[in-house]
A and B are shown apart, each in its own frame.
Chain A
Amino acid sequence: MAERGDRMFAENERISVRQIQCIIMLNILSFGFFVFPSVFQGFSGLEIIISSAIGGLAGILLSKTVIYVCSGKAKSLGDVFDRYTGKKAGFILRLLFMLYLLLKGSAIVFIYSSTIKTNSLPKTPVTALITVALIISVYIATRGIETIGRISEIFIVLILAGILFVFVFAAKSGGFSNISPCGGIGVKDITIRGIKSLYFFQGMEILFILSMFSGDKSDIKKKDISRAFELVWLIMTFSAFLIFTKLKVIEEDFISVWPFIKVADSIEIPFAFIERQDFIIIALTTTFMVFGVALSIFASGVILSDITKKFGNTKLYSYFTLAGVITALIIKALFGLNVLWTMETFIGVFCFIALPLILAGFKKRKEARSEK
């Protein structure tokens, strides 16, 4: 273990499996914090079954690819695409994937900044918020995967503690509806389009990218990978559980059965501390926004460097992808597009193209193996 760590320190651009887990968690939370509540409310009946099925299939395919990359059989994401789909299709897939990440970064920074403006800073122009958030995000992205890994490890502890506090105090003050930041901008306005299984991609996509940076390839054990997957699936299952049982029901059960809530309910907390949960919400909102955008910029930078055959030189490419995010925001401002809608539609198109290609690739390889 120590020796592996030594290599991790000695070599640049290497992170541990634990750090990968933390980054996945942050990525899921950063997008889910705002979008998940709206997804829950947008789902209904048959949609859940269809989206879960498609999401599950996509998840299985992606996880297979991740294991493939982790086991050292492939050098990079592009390598995987090329092997399964051929060079031309691989190029298109990489490009689409990068565009999706740029759109996602734009969506996150726009939605969060708009919400912050509406809820707390009505006099501050949204462009100021977006600019500052983008500067910090791109700073993180350009520090490289090591920095992202380390900072995620620290922030995930703070974030989970913050979320726990929010839940406890929200329960004490009367319900989860008060804590949803979506309430500020009206969740009904956020249209859920495209493939509803979008949330299944959260985590997977980043895991996909990160797997290329994890430790020494020979050190990556199946157990480590499965640990990372367990985490992702745990969160997904929890999300699905929330969807199926409806948020309100959960809320009531949560309060009645969770002993911690009861304890919190019986303690008189000084300084009207329940009101202070706003501070935690502000901290969480800002953190999720910055990390969500930073991860998107970094991941798209990785893909861009892969396209230009200079894999690993992500610092420069992160600056390029920042330009991509800004362009997406300008397009949004000029044409009044709903970035979330655009991104989700794009995901639909992406899946429509990518899934058949990857499935065909698997089939082709299977045939080749059986011939051997």
Chain B
Amino acid sequence: MKNNLDNDISNNIDEFKKTAEDCDDIVIREFYAYMNKNVKMCIIYADNLADSQTVNNFIMTNLMLRSNRTYSGKDMLDDILMRALAVGEAREIYDYDALYDSVLIGDTVLMADGADFAVSVSTKDWPTRGVPSAESEVVVEGPKDAFNESVSTNTVLLRRRIRDMNFKIKRYAVGDKSSVSINIAYMKGIVRKSVLDRVTESIKNISVDFIPDSGFLAQIIEENKITPFPQVQLTERPDRAAWALLNGQVVVLVDNTPFAIILPVTINVFFQAAEDYYEKWGIVSLVRIIRYIAAFFAVSLPALYIAFTLYHPQLIPSSLALKIAATRQNIPFPTVIEVLIMELAFELLREAGIRLPAPVSSTIGIVGGIIIGQAAVEAGIVGPVIVILSALTGICTFVIPVNSFVSGIRLFKYVLIMFSAVLGLYGFVLGMIFLMAHLASLKSFGIPYLYPFCSASVNDYSDLKDSFFRAPLFMLNKRGIFSDPKARKRYGGKR
């Protein structure tokens, strides 16, 4: 199969028509130039992907009505490119692959008889949403805008925030069957070069049919592909992405998805919400501590309950132990089964709530949480303590700001339940050690996952100021571990 464009426009059109057979949305318009009736020309574009007004007013009108050039073939196309096309972005293309790509991304391709190349004119006008409001990372105080599905819009949202020529964006097309535009954004001079190289390399080496979403891409580029814990962060907030860029992280924007990928990350990042930097340090510090405690409870509460009640009841204060025993008197299931029933019921409610429209999902919450819960307790199937415990565990998962990290916690909760059911508190501690060892073994593009709770000395312990607590802003005068060691000073100094 030939790939390079031919001098004869008829051959090029025939070849294209053959490939684009049954693609009725592709427009192929053949015509003659106004002043040179012997030269056949042709434009090709995808209906609705290309802006018809641009095509009509700035390409067709100029070529058919206003152009008075008398060149032909290659010279003619060169002249048109330089003088006649009143469109900002245009480039020469020489092969069919580039031709197909141009048409399919909404550009208009112009061909002329006698020229062995074509001109791709930028006429993209995809149907997109406007700039939406953030839905999964809502803030009380702070910007409300969010990324949408257009990579161009998302780039603009970042550019609007970072007005610095050191803010760089590299474009790559990834996908064997359908190429998707992927933009790698970073701050030159702040980004860690080793991380940038690693990210660029891993994106260049991707070989898949199609990248449908940033979550899909994240799974491909993550180093440890088995772990349930995320090694990149997804965000829909441009302010958060801009903050990450200025901290030396790399932001990857994927076309057709409203979530940007931020990398590298550490576990600490998953406990930081966007508005943590818009509010006073005192309240943010309190909330941060609550998030960490919530994460511990989310992963361990059911397991601890099993361990204490089954193996070590002597460790429960007597009055509490008696109350628990009283509520469990007529329960037909063993404690482990009882816990699993409630946990699975909660997972079902959560899953049902997510998929349904908002008004219906609130009904599901009421039906599941109040009516079924109450009925199950009254029927003696489960004890009230378990209902409280499951609800508390569920609420704790909602406190953690990043959903992908919560998924890891939810999964590991069942591992700990299993350990506790078999070996009591010893099993629980063994499970926790296993969890910590697993997290300690993870790295996100070379940065230890548990940083700054380990290896903090590398950046003189300054990253601890933005971990369990968030120090006042004037004290956060040093960039984090993600940045180049030579660009650590954030305030009052040269980069």
Instruction: Determine whether B65 belongs to the interface, using a CB cutoff of 8 Å to chain A.
Output: no
* A337 beta carbon closer than 8 Å to chain B: no
Segment of B92-100, B236-244, B399-407, B442-450 in the binding face: B442-450
| CB closest chain-B residue, reference A8 | B458
- Inter-chain contact A153/B454, CB cutoff 8 Å: yes
Do residues A6 and B429 form an inter-chain contact, with CB atoms below 8 A? no
Q: Which one of B314, B318, B425, B437 contacts A151 once the chains associate, using CB atoms below 8 Å?
A: B437
Task: Assess whether A228 is interfacial by the CB under 8 Å rule.
Answer: no
Min CB distance A194 to B, Å, is: 30
Query: A67 an interface residue at 8 Å Cβ cutoff?
Result: no
Q: How far is the CB of A111 from chain B (nearest CB, A)?
A: 14
With A121-B426, A132-B423 in contact, is A154–B436 under 8 Å at CB? yes
**Cα distance A133–B315 in the bound complex, in angstroms:** 23
> A38-46, A232-240, A272-280: which lies at the B interface?
A272-280
Type the 1/0 row for B424-468, where 1 means its CB is closer than 8 Å to any CB of A: 111101100110111011000011101001110111100000000
A residues less than 8 Å from B447 (CB atoms): 9
Q: Is the CB of B446 within 8 A of A116?
A: no
State whether the Cβ of A128 lies closer than 8 Å to any Cβ in chain B.
Answer: yes
Contact B446 A150 (CB under 8 A): no
- Whether A10 is near chain B, meaning CB under 8 Å from some CB there, is yes
Interchain CA distance A150-B447 in the complex, whole Å: 12
Shortest CB-to-CB span from B357 to chain A, Å, is 44
B312 at the interface (CB under 8 A from A): yes
Q: Does A328 contact B (CB under 8 A)?
A: no
B68 within 8 A of A: no
| B194 contacts the other chain (CB 8 A) | yes
Which A residues from 10 to 36 make CB contacts under 8 A with B? 10, 16, 18-19
| Shortest CB distance A274–B (Å) | 11
**Which one of A3, A19, A151 has the greatest number of beta carbons of chain B within 10 Å?**
A151
Query: With a CB–CB cut-off of 8 A, which chain B residues contact A275?
Result: 314-315
| A286 lies within 8 A of B454 (CB) | no
Count contacts on A: residues with CB < 8 A to the other chain.
45
Q: Which of B311, B315, B454 contacts A154 (CB 8 A)?
A: B454
A279 to B458, CA, bound (A): 34
Q: B457: which of A16, A136, A271 is its contact (CB, 8 Å)?
A: A16
Residues of chain B lying within 8 A (CB to CB) of residue A2: 458-460, 485, 488
- Complexed CA–CA distance, A136 and B419 (Å): 12
Is the pair A290, B430 in contact by a Cβ cutoff of 8 Å? Answer: yes
How many Å from the CB of B490 to the closest CB on chain A? 14
Say whether, besides A128-B423, A154-B454, A286-B426, A271 and B433 are in contact (CB < 8 Å): no
A327 at the interface (CB under 8 A from B): no
- A143 at interface (Cβ–Cβ under 8 A)? yes
CA distance A137 to B438 in the complex (A): 12
Q: Which of A10, A132, A282 contacts B425 (CB 8 A)?
A: A282
Q: Considering the complex, give the chain B residue whose CB is closest to the CB of A285.
A: B426
User: Within the assembled complex, what's the spacing in Å between the Cα atoms of A3 and B457?
Assistant: 11
**Contacts A278-B312, A279-B315 hold; do A1 and B457 have CB atoms under 8 A apart?**
yes
A190 at the interface (CB under 8 A from B): no
User: Is B422 on the interface with A (CB-CB < 8 A)?
Assistant: yes
* Cβ-closest chain B residue relative to A124: B423
A13 to chain B, nearest CB (A): 13
Q: Which 8 A-B pairs have the closest CB atoms?
A: A5-B458, A2-B485, A150-B454, A286-B429, A143-B441, A153-B454, A151-B440, A150-B440
